[in-house]
Amino acid sequence: MKMNKILIPVFSASLLLVSCSDWTDPDNKDFLPGMLQHDAATLAGLRAFKASAHPLLMMHIEGSSSAPSHQNQHPMSMPDSVDYLLISGIEDLHPTFVSELGEVRALKGTRTLNVVDYTTIRTSWEALREEAEDSGQGGDYTESSFAAYCKAETERQLSASAAYGFDGIVASYLGGFDSSAAAPFVQAIDSWAQSHPDKLLFFRGYPAYVIRLTDQTLVSRSRYILILTEDAKASVSISRQVRDQLVEGVPSDRIILEASVPSLADGGEDAQVGATVQVAADWVMDPNTASTVKCDKQGLAVSNAQEDYFNMPTYKRIRAALAILHPSISDSNTENRH
| pLDDT at residue 140, as a whole number | 79
Across 78-87, average pLDDT: 93
How far is residue 190's CA from residue 204's CA, in Å, rounded to a whole number? 15
Lowest-pLDDT choice from 31-35, 53-57, 200-204, 292-296: 31-35
Give DSSP secondary structure letters for 88-149: E--TT--HHHHHHHHHHHHHH--EEEEEEEHHHHHHHHHHHHHHHHHTT-GGG--HHHHHHH
DSSP alpha helix (H) spans, 233-331: 235-245, 277-285, 287-293, 316-325
Contact 101, 75 (CB under 8 A): yes
Assigned CATH class of 56-311: alpha beta
Phi, psi of 106, rounded to the nearest 5 degrees: -70, -40
The predicted structure's pLDDT at residue 15 = 31
Nearest to 90, CA basis, from 120, 110, 50: 120
pLDDT one-digit tens code per residue, 98-127: 999 999 999 999 999 999 999 999 999 999
Q: What is the DSSP string of 140-200?
A: G--HHHHHHHHHHHHHHHHHHHHHTT-SEEEEEE---S--GGGHHHHHHHHHHHHH-TTSE
Q: One-letter amino acid identity for 235? A: S
CA distance 55 to 333: 19
59, 318 contact by CB (below 8 A) = yes
Under 8 Å between Cβ of 189 and 169? yes
Return the ∠ at Cα 34 (arms to 33 and 39), rounded to 5°. Answer: 105
Q: What angle do CA 189, 223, 321 make, to 5 degrees?
A: 120
Residue-wise pLDDT for 305-329, tens only, equals 988 888 778 888 999 999 999 987 6
pLDDT > 60? residue 331: no
Tell me, what's the pLDDT at 225? 98
For the ranges 24-33, 68-77, 101-110, 152-161, which has the lowest average pLDDT?
A: 24-33
- For the entire predicted model, the pTM comes to 0.85
Over the Cα atoms of the chain, what is R_g? 20
The pLDDT of residue 66: 84
Segments of 221-265 assigned E as strands: 224-228, 255-260
Instruction: Quote the pLDDT of residue 82.
Output: 94
Which residue has better confidence, 60 or 262? 60
**pLDDT, tens only, 71-81:** 888 898 888 88
- Could you tell me the CA-to-CA distances from 333 to 20, 159, 336 in Å, in that order? 26, 33, 9
With a CB cutoff of 8 Å and minimum separation 6, the contacts of 311 are 317
CB–CB of 245/207 below 8 Å? yes
What is the per-residue burial (b if ≥16 Cβ within 10 Å, else e) of 76-98? bbbbbbbbbbbbbebeebeeebb
